């Protein structure tokens, strides 16, 4: 019976540890960049696991993978569950893949019990969620939703010049199904929180009600190379010092919109890279985030004003290229309440939350009822080889996934 379905905690944990070998790092983390050989290997593992579970696998032209368990009603749209298999350059064992493997465990549990859902259940691996190799992130789901263009992603290149479309074909995971053709009744995504709140408050499950907006931008500061010993301070056009001011400006803008706002300059390069040469060029990648769209726009406008002020005073030229804007998302109340009911059923502690990180669910939410589930992670650390979650918490999250899928099957 549906009320007695219980996931296999040991099996789930074993799959998490098994898949961590693909791209394993000496420090215990995972480096599995999108469309790398390591990505191909874990996709191969996923393909075999889905086939063993009796699922029918389809792949679209973005490399998104859809593995479906049939329902009793062939006309019912599938209920989807999943996340992503790619990682950051120095990532962990749980970010993304927990949501995929929890969905697999839910399906395995249904199989073990011989339980038939009315709707088909589709397990998804979305391509390039992290955006570490190819920007922007969440591009598999973004193209699926129509908010990003297929042509843009196919032609995008990584820092070494490798083209997305060519790499997708190289690893053998460019499918034939048109992107966005497949439709769903609902989508559920489990993820580690990637923040410290659940662990600090000793809460087992985050019931996610929505996600904050993101604004990614790249920039260049152009000054003038000159001799560090002979150029007076008043005659310098120092790109590095302008960049330092800009980094602090991003921090100040985020603090001015606290506590919800965050701002980060995460990548910089300064040239020509000599101790005794004043840097003439600096490039950077940065972002702003806020759960309110109007406030996010105001933050971006404040940054533009600060850039103009810094450029005039230094003097340098600062150019900004907006790479990605994703407005805040509100998840469907039907899915949110299905998650909350599953939590209550098992007597788990919970907290209603807004996601600070971006997830594939943000894009899928524009097309079907969508929701997310969070579990705690150690000290809130993610995008780090030290990322960790307990077997107990992973099992609790997977159990909530299973019960949410069953409840949605009964109510949608």
Q: What angle do CA 3, 8, 9 make, to 5 degrees?
A: 120
Place of tokens 């420090």: 27
CATH number at residue 310: 3.30.70.360
Q: What is the mean pLDDT of residues 224-241?
A: 97
pLDDT single digits (tens) 269-297: 999 999 999 999 999 999 999 999 999 99
Last residue of a domain, one of 276, 293, 325: 325
Q: What is the mean pLDDT of residues 126-140?
A: 95
135/402: higher pLDDT: 402
Same domain, 314 and 351: no
Which pLDDT does position 293 carry in this prediction?
A: 94
Which pLDDT does position 172 carry in this prediction?
A: 98
Same domain, 229 and 369: no
Q: What is the mean pLDDT of residues 229-255?
A: 98
Same domain, 24 and 55: yes
Same domain, 114 and 155: yes
Which pLDDT does position 324 carry in this prediction?
A: 83
Q: For residue 250, count CB atoms less than 10 angstroms from its CB and return exposed for 0-12, middle for 13-18, buried for 19 or more.
A: buried
Question: Has residue 142 got a pLDDT over 70?
Answer: yes
pLDDT single digits (tens) 297-321: 999 999 999 999 999 999 999 999 9
In the structure encoding, which two tokens stand for residue 354, read together? 């807004």
Same domain, 158 and 249: no
**What is the domain extent for residue 202?**
2-212+328-411
Question: Has residue 323 got a pLDDT over 90?
Answer: no
The CB density around residue 384, as the number of other CB atoms within 10 Å, is 18
Last residue of a domain, one of 271, 296, 325: 325
Last residue of a domain, one of 325, 350, 382: 325
pLDDT single digits (tens) 35-66: 999 999 999 999 999 999 999 999 999 999 99
Strands (E), 171-294: 186-192, 205-211, 213-222, 226-227, 262-271, 277-278, 281-290
- 48 contacts: CB under 8 Å, gap ≥ 6: none
**Do 195 and 380 contact (CB within 8 A), yes or no?**
yes
Which pLDDT does position 326 carry in this prediction?
A: 86
Provide the percentage of residues in the chain whose pLDDT is more than 70. Answer: 99
Provide the percentage of residues in the chain whose pLDDT is more than 90. Answer: 96
Question: Has residue 1 got a pLDDT over 60?
Answer: no
pLDDT single digits (tens) 152-204: 999 999 999 999 999 999 999 999 999 999 999 999 999 999 999 999 999 99
List for the chain the helix, strand, coil content (%; round to 5): 40, 25, 40
pTM of the complete model beyond 0.85 = yes
Give the range among 105-109, 177-181, 232-236, 354-358 with minimum mean pLDDT.
354-358
Same domain, 343 and 332: yes
Same domain, 163 and 28: yes
Averaged pLDDT score across all residues of the chain: 97
Which pLDDT does position 368 carry in this prediction?
A: 98
Rg (CA), the chain: 23
**Number of structural domains found in the chain:** 2
Same domain, 313 and 337: no
Question: Has residue 240 got a pLDDT over 80?
Answer: yes
Same domain, 343 and 320: no
| H or E element, residue 373 | strand 370-375
Which pLDDT does position 2 carry in this prediction?
A: 60
Same domain, 222 and 354: no
Same domain, 182 and 225: no
CATH number at residue 81: 3.40.630.10
Which pLDDT does position 256 carry in this prediction?
A: 98
Same domain, 277 and 394: no
CA distance 412 to 284: 46
């Amino acid at each position: 019976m549906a009320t007695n379905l219980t996931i296999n905690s040991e099996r789930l944990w074993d799959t998490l540890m098994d898949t961590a070998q693909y791209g394993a790092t000496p420090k215990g983390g995972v480096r599995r960049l999108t469309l790398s050989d390591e990505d191909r290997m874990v996709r191969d593992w996923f393909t075999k696991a889905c086939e063993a579970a009796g699922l029918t696998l389809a792949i679209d032209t973005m490399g998104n993978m859809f593995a479906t368990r049939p329902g009793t009603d062939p006309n019912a749209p599938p209920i989807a569950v999943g996340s992503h298999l790619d990682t950051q350059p120095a990532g962990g064992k749980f970010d993304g893949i927990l949501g995929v493997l929890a969905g697999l465990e839910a399906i395995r549990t249904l199989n073990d019990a011989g339980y038939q859902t009315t709707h088909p259940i589709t397990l998804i691996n979305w391509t390039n969620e992290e955006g570490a190799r190819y920007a922007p992130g969440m591009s598999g789901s973004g193209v699926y939703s129509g908010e990003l263009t297929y042509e843009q992603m196919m032609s995008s290149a990584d820092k070494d010049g490798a083209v997305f479309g060519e790499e997708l074909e190289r690893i053998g995971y460019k499918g034939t199904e048109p992107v966005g053709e497949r439709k769903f009744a609902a989508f559920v995504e489990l993820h580690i929180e990637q923040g410290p709140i659940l662990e600090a408050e000793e809460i087992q499950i985050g019931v996610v009600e929505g996600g904050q907006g993101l604004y990614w931008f790249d920039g260049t500061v152009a000054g003038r190379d000159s001799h560090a010993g002979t150029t007076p301070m008043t005659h310098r056009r120092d790109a590095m010092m302008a960049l330092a001011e800009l980094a602090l400006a991003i921090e100040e803008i985020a603090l001015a919109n606290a506590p919800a706002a965050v701002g980060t300059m995460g990548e910089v390069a300064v040239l020509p890279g000599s101790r005794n040469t004043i840097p003439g060029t600096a490039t950077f990648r940065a972002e702003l985030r806020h759960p309110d769209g109007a406030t996010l726009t105001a933050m971006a406008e404040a940054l533009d004003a600060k850039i103009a002020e810094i450029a005039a005073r230094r003097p340098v030229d600062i150019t900004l290229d907006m790479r990605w804007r994703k407005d805040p998302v509100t998840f469907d109340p039907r899915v949110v309440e299905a998650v909350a009911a599953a939590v209550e059923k098992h007597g788990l502690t919970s907290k209603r939350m807004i996601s600070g990180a971006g997830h594939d669910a943000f894009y899928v939410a524009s097309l079907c009822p969508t929701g997310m589930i969070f579990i705690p992670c150690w000290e809130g650390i993610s995008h780090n080889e030290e990322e960790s979650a307990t077997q107990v918490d992973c099992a609790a999250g997977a159990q909530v996934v299973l019960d949410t899928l069953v409840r949605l099957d009964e109510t949608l």
